[in-house]
Structure 1
Amino acid sequence: MTDTWHTVPLDLQHVRGALRLEPTDRGVAPHRLPAWAVEQAADPQLTMVEAQGAGVRVALRTAATVVELVAHRTRVTYAGAPARPDGSVDLVVDGEVVGRQRSSGGSTTELDMVTGQPTFIPGEDFTASFAGLAPTVKDVEVWLPHNETLELVEVRANGPVEPLTTHQRTWLHHGSSISQGSNAARPTGTWPAVAARLAGVELINLGFGGAALLDPFVARTMRDLPADVISFSLGINIVNADVMRMRAFRAGLHGFIDTIRDGHPNTPLLVVTPLHCAIHETTPGPGAFDPEALAEGRLGFRATGDPAEVPAGRLTLETIRAETARIVAERRRTDPNLHLLDGLELYGAEDEAAHPLRDSLHPDAETHRFVGERFARAAFADGPLG
C-alpha cells in the first residue's frame, strides 16, 4: 500500500448523518439542522446540541490500511461537577465496529451552574489514527462523538477513496438527549445507532439534548428530508422544561404530525412515548439540578413541579403517554401508516432496579444497548418500520 495520503472530500457524499457542513477557518463543522431552523430557535441549548455529531460519520470505500481523522473538538463542562469522559471516535469496517479512539484537546466552555457564566478555555486539534486495516476494498465509516462538537480539519487514507454507496433504507428519527445518546459510552452505542445497525438502515439522528419540544421548524425539516421510515420520541423535554400545558401539547402534537405528513403522506411514522423516568412520572417540571447530588460531586436532576396542578393541565410523563396514545389511535382511523410504541416497552419501571438512571434522567451505556435492541425488535423486526 502506498504511503501517499489521499484526502477524503469533506462533503455530504462522504459525511453522512449531517444536514449541512459549515465552512470554518479549520475545515468544516457538521450540523444536524438547517441554518434557518437554528435561527428560528434562537436558543443556545439547541444551537449547541444540533452541532454535536450524533449519528454523523465519515463514510468511504477504500483498500487503504490506514485511515486518519484530524479534528478540533468543542466541549461544555460544568463547574464543580465531574467532567464528562472524552468523546469516542469509532471505526466501523464492513458493518463491524473494529476500532475506537478518544478525542482530546480542543476548546472547552465551562459553565457556572448557578450564574450561567461561561469560561472559554482554548486547546489543540487531535488526530484519530486507525492502522492495520486489511489491504482489500472495504466499506469504512468513522463515527464522530455523539456529544461533542467537532470541526473536521482533514480525513485521509493511505490509498484511493471513493464515496460509500448504500442500498439501505433511510430511518429518520427525532428525540431528546436520550435519543442523542447522553451517557452512552460511544457513538455506535447510542440506542438509535444500536437499533439502526441491527435493522440494517441508514440513520439520520435528530436527537437534540434538552430540545425535543415539538418545534415546528424540526417538523418542517423532517417533512423535507428524504426518508423511508420515520419516528419521533417525545415527552421528557416537554415535561422537564415545563414549556406547555395539555391544551398546547394536544395541538402541538397534531401540528407536528400534520407537518411531517405534508411531505411524507404515506411513509411509516412511529410515535414513541417517554421511557420511564421516576422523577417525572407523576410530578411536573420544571426539572432542576439536584443540589444534594452536586454536593457529593456528581450530576443529578430532580422535579420541582406540584402534582396537585396536573388536573389543571400541568404535564407529567403519565399524562403525556395517555394523551399521545389517544391522539394516535384517533388519527389511525384515516392514517393506517401512523403507529404508536409505548416507551415503557423499551425501558419501564421494572428495568429501573437493574439499570437505574444514574443522574435520575439519562440511561447509561448498558441501558442504551438494550433499549436499542428492544427498539430494533419492536419497530423493525416485528413492527411497523420493518
Structure 2
Amino acid sequence: MHTWTTTPITPDLLRGALDLERTERGLLPHRLPARARAQYTDPQLAMAESQPSGVRLAFRTRATAVELDTLPTKRAYTGMPPRPDGVYDLLVDGRLTDQAGAAGGDTLTIDMAAGTAENRPGPIATLRFTGLPDRAKDVEIWLPHNETTELVALRTDAPVEPEPDRGRRVWLHHGSSISHGSNAATPTTTWPALAASRGGAELVNLGLGGSALLDPFTARTIRDAPADLISLKIGINLVNADLMRLRAFTPAVHGFLDTVRDGHPTAPLLVVSPIHCPIHEHTPGPAAFDPAALRDGELRFRATGDPAERAAGKLTLTVIREELSRIVRQRAADDPNLHYLDGLRLYGEADSAELPLPDGLHPDAAAHRRIGERFAAFAFAADGPFAAGRG
C-alpha cells in the first residue's frame, strides 16, 4: 500500500515547454509562447505547438511509485482505423524504464474530406509507474509527442524536488512534422530526442507539424529562448504548403537568421536542408491527400504542382537545398558559427529505397533512428558544429 504525496506541477518540474497555460482542469504545456500564438490563430499550428514533443516532467525523488493524471486529446480521422494512444516514456537516471498509454481524454474527430473537426470531451486518465528503484534518482516522464496533453496531478510515494541542473547544453531545434516526430514510435525515439540523447544535450523541440514556414513569430521565439545550440531544418513545409516562390524565400531565410542572431549572436547555428522526399524532389506543391488511398482507409500524400513551374520560381526540394547552401556560404564569411548540413546526408535516395516514407512524406520509426544517429554523428562530433567549446 502506497502513501501518496501530491506535488503541484510547477514550471520548475517541466523541461522543453516555452509556455504553460492554466486551464479549467490542469496545466497545458505550449511550445510557442502566447504572444506568438496570438499572431496567427491557425488550427494546424495550434494543434502542433500544443502537442508536447520533447516536453517532459523532470524531478529527483526516492519514490518507488508515481501516478500522473492527464487529460489527453486524441485525434480520430473519419473513415480511418483508430490511432493508437500516445506513449509516455519513463526514464530513470537517463535510461528508459517503463512506458504507458493514457486511456480516456477528449477526442477530436477530423473529417479530411469535409474539412471539419468535432471535439468530444472525455474523462481524465491516470498513469501509474511502480517498481522504481528505492534510492535517490532522476526521473523523467516524456509526454506523448503527438497528443495534446493537459497535466492534472502528480502523486508519488516519496517527496519530489526539481531535477538539478546537470550542466548539459540546451539544444533548440526547429523543423517540420518530421522533427516534431510524425510516425516515430515514442517521444524519446523522435529523431531529435535520439540525437539529443547521443549528444548529451538538453532538448527543446520546436518541430511543428505543417508549420515550419519561416514565420517571424517563430524566429522571435527562438531569439528569446535560452539556447546554447540551435538548428533550423527548413524546406518541406514551404513546398507542400506552396507558400512562397524563390523571390520571397531567399529574403525570408535571411530575415529569419537575422532575427535568431539578434538573440544568439555567437551560438553554433546549423541550417539543415530537407531529407529526400520523392514526391517533392522536382515537383512543386501543394501537397494533397491521395483520394484513392483515403478510400482504402490509408493516409498518403501526393504532389499536385507542375515541375515546369520551377522556371517561374516555384519551390521544390532540390531548389531549396541549392539556395540554402548558397545562403549559408554567403553568410558564413561573416559568421564563423553558422553551418550547413545537406538533409540528404541524413536520409537520401538510397535510404528512401530501403526505408520508404510510409505516407509519402514522413519517415517511419526505423528511419527516425537512422536520422537521429546520423545527425548526432555529424553535429556532436569532435570537429562538428556542436562540438564542446564551440560558440
**What is the TM-score when the length of structure 1 is the normalising length?**
0.98
Corresponding residue for residue 65 of structure 1? 64
Q: Which moved more, 1:103-112 or 1:212-221?
A: 103-112
Corresponding residue for residue 375 of structure 2? 375
- Give the distance between the partners of 2:74 and 2:262, measured in 1 at CA: 37
Corresponding residue for residue 278 of structure 1? 278
Corresponding residue for residue 120 of structure 1? 119
Corresponding residue for residue 29 of structure 2? 30
Corresponding residue for residue 149 of structure 2? 150
Corresponding residue for residue 16 of structure 2? 17
- Give the distance between the partners of 1:76 and 1:44, measured in 2 at CA: 13
Write out per-residue CA displacement over residues 36-59 of structure 1, whole angstroms, 9 at most, x where no aligned residue.
101102211101110011000000
Corresponding residue for residue 204 of structure 2? 204
Write out per-residue CA displacement over residues 238-290 of structure 1, whole angstroms, 9 at most, x where no aligned residue.
00000000011001000000000001000000000001000000000000001
**Contact 2:273–2:324 (CA under 8 A) maintained in structure 1:** yes
The structural deviation recorded for 1:203 is 0.3
Corresponding residue for residue 162 of structure 1? 161
The structural deviation recorded for 1:327 is 0.3
**Contact 1:11–1:21 (CA under 8 A) maintained in structure 2:** no
Corresponding residue for residue 345 of structure 1? 345
Corresponding residue for residue 98 of structure 2? 99
Corresponding residue for residue 47 of structure 2? 48
Number of equivalences: 385
The structural deviation recorded for 1:176 is 0.5
**Contact 2:65–2:129 (CA under 8 A) maintained in structure 1:** yes
Asked if residue 223 in structure 1 is aligned to residue 223 in structure 2, the reply is: yes
Matched AA of 2:295:
A
**Contact 1:76–1:110 (CA under 8 A) maintained in structure 2:** yes
The structural deviation recorded for 1:3 is 3.1
Corresponding residue for residue 288 of structure 2? 288
- Give the distance between the partners of 1:147 and 1:8, measured in 2 at CA: 26
Corresponding residue for residue 249 of structure 2? 249
The structural deviation recorded for 1:108 is 1.0
**Contact 2:90–2:142 (CA under 8 A) maintained in structure 1:** yes
Corresponding residue for residue 302 of structure 2? 302
**Contact 1:82–1:299 (CA under 8 A) maintained in structure 2:** no
SS in structure 1 of the partner of residue 128 of structure 2: strand
- Give the distance between the partners of 2:118 and 2:162, measured in 1 at CA: 40
Give the ranges of 4+ consecutive aligned residues of structure 1 lying more than 4 Å apart after TM superposition: none
Write out per-residue CA displacement over residues 130-185 of structure 1, whole angstroms, 9 at most, x where no aligned residue.
10011100000000000000110011211011100121110000000000000111
Matched AA of 1:42:
T
Write out per-residue CA displacement over residues 6-65 of structure 1, whole angstroms, 9 at most, x where no aligned residue.
223312210110111111111100000011101102211101110011000000000100
Corresponding residue for residue 234 of structure 1? 234
Corresponding residue for residue 385 of structure 1? 386
- Give the distance between the partners of 1:356 and 1:8, measured in 2 at CA: 45
SS in structure 2 of the partner of residue 185 of structure 1: coil
SS in structure 1 of the partner of residue 211 of structure 2: coil
Corresponding residue for residue 3 of structure 2? 4
Matched AA of 2:213:
L
Q: Which moved more, 1:10-19 or 1:174-183?
A: 10-19
The structural deviation recorded for 1:381 is 2.1
SS in structure 1 of the partner of residue 315 of structure 2: coil
Write out per-residue CA displacement over residues 91-135 of structure 1, whole angstroms, 9 at most, x where no aligned residue.
001010111001221111111112212222222111111100111
Matched AA of 2:105:
G
**Contact 1:59–1:140 (CA under 8 A) maintained in structure 2:** yes
The structural deviation recorded for 1:292 is 1.7
- Give the distance between the partners of 1:25 and 1:121, measured in 2 at CA: 16
**Contact 2:180–2:207 (CA under 8 A) maintained in structure 1:** yes
- Give the distance between the partners of 2:307 and 2:82, measured in 1 at CA: 33
**Contact 2:93–2:137 (CA under 8 A) maintained in structure 1:** yes
SS in structure 2 of the partner of residue 155 of structure 1: strand
SS in structure 2 of the partner of residue 110 of structure 1: strand
Segments of structure 1 that go 5 or more residues without pairing to the other structure are none
SS in structure 2 of the partner of residue 274 of structure 1: coil
Q: Which moved more, 1:64-73 or 1:373-382?
A: 373-382
Write out per-residue CA displacement over residues 323-373 of structure 1, whole angstroms, 9 at most, x where no aligned residue.
000000000000010000110010001001211100000011111111111
**Contact 2:234–2:273 (CA under 8 A) maintained in structure 1:** yes
**Contact 2:232–2:270 (CA under 8 A) maintained in structure 1:** yes
- Give the distance between the partners of 1:111 and 1:45, measured in 2 at CA: 12
Matched AA of 2:183:
N
- Give the distance between the partners of 1:83 and 1:311, measured in 2 at CA: 42
Asked if residue 141 in structure 1 is aligned to residue 140 in structure 2, the reply is: yes
**Contact 1:89–1:145 (CA under 8 A) maintained in structure 2:** yes
**Contact 2:294–2:300 (CA under 8 A) maintained in structure 1:** yes
- Give the distance between the partners of 1:97 and 1:370, measured in 2 at CA: 19
C-alpha RMSD over aligned residues: 1.0
**Contact 2:74–2:85 (CA under 8 A) maintained in structure 1:** no
SS in structure 1 of the partner of residue 161 of structure 2: strand
Matched AA of 1:65:
T
The structural deviation recorded for 1:81 is 2.1
**Contact 1:8–1:14 (CA under 8 A) maintained in structure 2:** no
- The percentage of counterpart residues that share the same residue type is 60
Corresponding residue for residue 186 of structure 1? 186
Matched AA of 1:53:
P
